[in-house]
A and B are shown apart, each in its own frame.
Chain A
Amino acid sequence: MISIRCEKLSVTFGKLRAVDNLDLTIEQGAIYGLVGPNGAGKTSAIKSMMNIIGRTGGRAEIFGRDSQLLDEHDFARIGHVSENQAMPGWMTVAYLMRHLKPFYPTWDDARATQLLRQFDLPLNRKLRYLSRGMLMKAALASSLAFRPRLLVLDEPFSGLDPLVREELIEGMIESAEESTILVSSHDLGEIETFASHIGFMDRGRLVFSEEMTSLTTRFREIEVTTGEPADIEHAAHWPEQWLHPEISPAVVRFIDTSYDPELTGAAVRELFRSVRGISATPVPLRTIFLTMARNSRRVSKGAAA
């Protein structure tokens, strides 16, 4: 069962193509981390999926329903929390929960109480007087209390201290059993700890989208120790999937984006005449992100040149 499907989704603002033919599929039960540099189009894509802004091309579906047709019945199953959402500052936390409860048939009072306690939210304080972290927790609590089938979080962790991040992630993960979660974030260290799938967006396009396990298996930092200084001329035959090379007299390092122990080893031996050792180290998501972002910029600069 598919929770979110985008087919060639495009969003433009004037001449700016914020989302460019985005193809994305998120299976039910996935915790999908959508990452990418600033201006990659993550927020625009999410806003279009949530029918907050219009699209200029393609299609987006939520639970098989065109996102432009989402109505109150659909939103009764969707929790949406965004860093730039304007919350009604005049409401207290308790008022917010009390006001929203009748709108959700699946509202769970016990869960709401547990979330408020878990997030340590001051019930009688107005939202406008809450800190940013508290506000995000209040928004998340109001979006988890009805046990949503889809939880969409747009940059929920930016600017928050580690303790609040941890609390938010805990709250989110607790609902993962019953929800599909789409979370966009710059906080790659946090995403890595809970995401089951990762999508990388850059310049409005989805560069890759795959399971976390496959991604971490595929990306390796390869360190090749050579018996003689590495021949720079070999760089001309450098495979495309080997990114971000660092070449020193006896050591060559690069990120292999399609790591396979046998194939990578064979390719290395073919390229370098005297290979004394090859080591392959798993890389954190942050390194994958930086490698892909830099490569994307390099490619676009080359294309422009």
Chain B
Amino acid sequence: MNAIPESEQRRRGLCAQAFLIFRKDVDYLRIEILVFLLVAAVFAWMKPPSIELLIALAAAYLVMRVVHADGIPGDRQFWITRPYNRWSLLGAKLLFVLVCISLPIAMAQLAVAMGAGFGLAETIPPLLLAQAFLFLFGALPIVALAALTSGIVSFIAVALALTLLSLGGATAFEFWLPHIDSLPIPVEWIRWALVAIPVSAATVNILVWQYRSRATNSSRILAVAGLNIAVLLFLFVPASFALKTQSWFSKRPELASAITITAGRGNGFAAAVFSGAREATAVPLALMADHPANTELRADDLTAAASWGDAPVTFMRQPTINRRYDRDGEAAFDVMMMVNSRQYLARRDEPVTIRGSVWLTLFGEDEKTRISARAPQGGSTRDGLRCRVTRVTERGVSTPAPPGQEPEWRPSDFVTCAALFQWPGKLVYAEAGEYQSDFRNTLISYAPLAAGLSLSPIEVRPSDPIGSDDVTIVTRRPLAHFRRDFVLTGVKFADFDLRFRRAPLPSRPPAR
């Protein structure tokens, strides 16, 4: 008979120890586990997100309790001078999180997804990904936080302190530094991915330091440092960096090479607006782009600067861009360029040069799925969307009524699409004849992964009312993210003025 190698014996010994500690923890927390299973069952039954916060709090409480069962800080713990292997101890805690927290949540998510009509095979991959995210970026940081504290009071105090520190820091920065870039929604995921780096690094190091050496003071310093770096990254990620990073994920960047963009005067007139605490003047511009047929163009972000010869430049970022139309390979966007009001008034009659950059995304390869209200189960697109037409018979849509009268309501059809874990990073439209309705397409994410940190396994979005029960769902996936620069010359800001002058304010009446 072959003898078992020493390393294998050791590995088995560590696993056996981890299992013994895990079993002890299950015995210790059996009532709490039962309560958590009940909450998970309610989660599956009531459907998220109504109970999402409750299950998150219950999970955090259970994680804290299991870590504190064999706490790290302090010098009175029973286990310290018992032959517990430190890695077995950590392994037991992580096993507990997986079996008693992740698994019930996963089962509840699976039940919700299958209840919404998704199949087992299509649900499992994003479910596993979502669970991996929840474990790495949800449970593990809580394990690390619990490993830094010795009781529920200190845990809650530290958690509250860290939350207030983060929120307070973010609020203070937003107040004092209002010009910090806000990222376009589609690339927000890059901000979170960057934040995940210091959080993960701090979490892993805290766990290693605590379970190997019980170096609580050093670990607490590391936790504060990691959090500060995360907050700073969250606040100061430049939009240009995020957009440039997104361009590396282009699937077919060559399609963008032929796309050109030109700038011109937009519709409407200049108007005074408040941007943060400062007054600015919004100047309407229009951008026109040519792009390949059967593709679609979206503008994600724009920066523009106005200059007068060698005079100082007024510069403002403009993240809100409205698409005027996009058909037959031609797209037009309306943007409002923010100009410093003082400079605008001082130099409105001088020729101005406007230079700008716009970040665009080219969508293409439309995929169409026809669904009908007559099929109660609806239809499934190739993106994993399950869509159905529902008829709202009472108060579907209303027609405007004369003042003082009730609006007239009539039945209407709506399309509702459900996505697994998160809405796909694609354009999704519901087409009925000539009419096209989108699904809040400005709120999609270009994240390359199919799940995020949400506990909810289903994201449902309704369309606008649609006049037919035979609907085609059209999806377009992003092919290229790219930047185009433009220059607009030969204009003056006075050209954007509405041609009337504001009447002078009446003088204040004399005091009685």
Contacts and interface: CB of A to CB of B under 8 A. Distances in A.
A103 B81 contact: no
A100 interface: yes
A53 B75 contact: yes
A238 to B, nearest CB: 44
Given A85-B76, A88-B28, A99 B81 contact: no
Contacts of B84: 72, 75, 103
Interface in A50-76: 50-53, 71-76
B194 to A, nearest CB: 35
B4 to A, nearest CB: 16
B20 to A, nearest CB: 6
Interface in B1-56: 16-17, 20, 24, 27-28
A52 B78 contact: no
Contacts of B28: 88, 90
Given A88-B28, A102-B20, A103-B17, A47 B75 contact: yes
B185 interface: no
A87 interface: yes
Contact of A87 (B20, B24, B78): B78
A100 B75 contact: no
Interface of B: 16-17, 20, 24, 27-28, 69, 75-78, 80-85
Contact of A52 (B16, B24, B27, B81): B81
Contacts of B77: 85-86
A104 interface: yes
A90 B78 CA distance: 13
Contacts of B27: 95
A137 interface: no
Contacts of A104: 83
A100 B24 CA distance: 10
A75 B20 contact: no
Given A103-B17, A103-B20, A86 B76 contact: yes
B85 A72 contact: yes
Given A102-B20, A103-B17, A103-B20, A84 B76 contact: yes
Contacts of B75: 47, 52-53
23 contacts: A50-B80, A52-B75, A52-B80, A72-B83, A72-B84, A72-B85, A75-B81, A76-B83, A78-B81, A84-B76, A85-B76, A85-B78, A86-B76, A86-B77, A88-B28, A88-B69, A88-B78, A90-B28, A99-B20, A102-B16, A102-B17, A103-B82, A103-B84
Contacts of A82: 76
A80 interface: yes
Interface of A: 47, 50-53, 71-76, 78, 80, 82, 84-88, 90, 95, 99-100, 102-104, 152
What are the 10 closest A-B residue pairs judged by CB atoms, nearest first? Answer: A80-B81, A72-B83, A76-B83, A75-B83, A86-B76, A72-B85, A103-B83, A52-B75, A50-B81, A87-B78
Given A102-B16, A103-B17, A75 B82 contact: yes
B20 A71 contact: no
B214 to A, nearest CB: 9
A120 B332 CA distance: 89
B72 to A, nearest CB: 12
Nearest to A76: B83
A47 B28 CA distance: 27
B152 to A, nearest CB: 15
Contacts of A74: 83
Nearest to B80: A52
A99 B83 contact: no
A101 to B, nearest CB: 10
Given A86-B76, A102-B20, 5 more contacts: A71-B85, A72-B84, A95-B27, A99-B20, A103-B20
A102 B81 CA distance: 15
Nearest to A73: B83
Contacts of B81: 50, 52, 75, 78, 80, 152
B75 to A, nearest CB: 5
Contacts of B80: 50-52
Nearest to B77: A86
Most buried by B among A72, A76, A90: A72
A89 B234 CA distance: 44
Nearest to A80: B81
Nearest to B69: A88
A75 B86 CA distance: 12
Contacts of A88: 28, 69, 78
B18 to A, nearest CB: 12
A100 B82 contact: yes
Contacts of B78: 85-88
A71 B211 CA distance: 12
A95 B23 CA distance: 12
Contacts of B24: 99
Most buried by B among A84, A102, A103: A103
Contacts of A72: 17, 83-85
Contacts of A85: 76-78
A270 B20 CA distance: 72
B11 to A, nearest CB: 14
A222 to B, nearest CB: 44
B436 to A, nearest CB: 63
A85 B84 CA distance: 16
A53 B213 CA distance: 10
B335 to A, nearest CB: 61
Most buried by A among B17, B28, B81, B84: B81
Nearest to B14: A72
Contacts of B76: 82, 84-86
B91 to A, nearest CB: 13
A158 to B, nearest CB: 15
B87 to A, nearest CB: 10
Contacts of A73: 83
Nearest to A101: B20
A157 B145 CA distance: 37
Nearest to A99: B24
Nearest to A74: B83
A72 B83 CA distance: 4
Contacts of B83: 72-76, 103-104
A3 B94 CA distance: 36
Most buried by A among B24, B27, B75, B85: B75
A47 B82 CA distance: 14
A60 B229 CA distance: 39
Nearest to A127: B78
Contacts of B17: 72, 102-103
Most buried by A among B20, B24, B69, B80: B80
A103 B77 CA distance: 17
Contacts of A51: 80
Nearest to B85: A72
A52 B85 CA distance: 15
A159 B77 CA distance: 21
Contacts of B16: 102
A103 to B, nearest CB: 5
Nearest to B79: A88
A215 B82 CA distance: 34
Contacts of A90: 28
A81 B77 CA distance: 11
Nearest to A95: B27
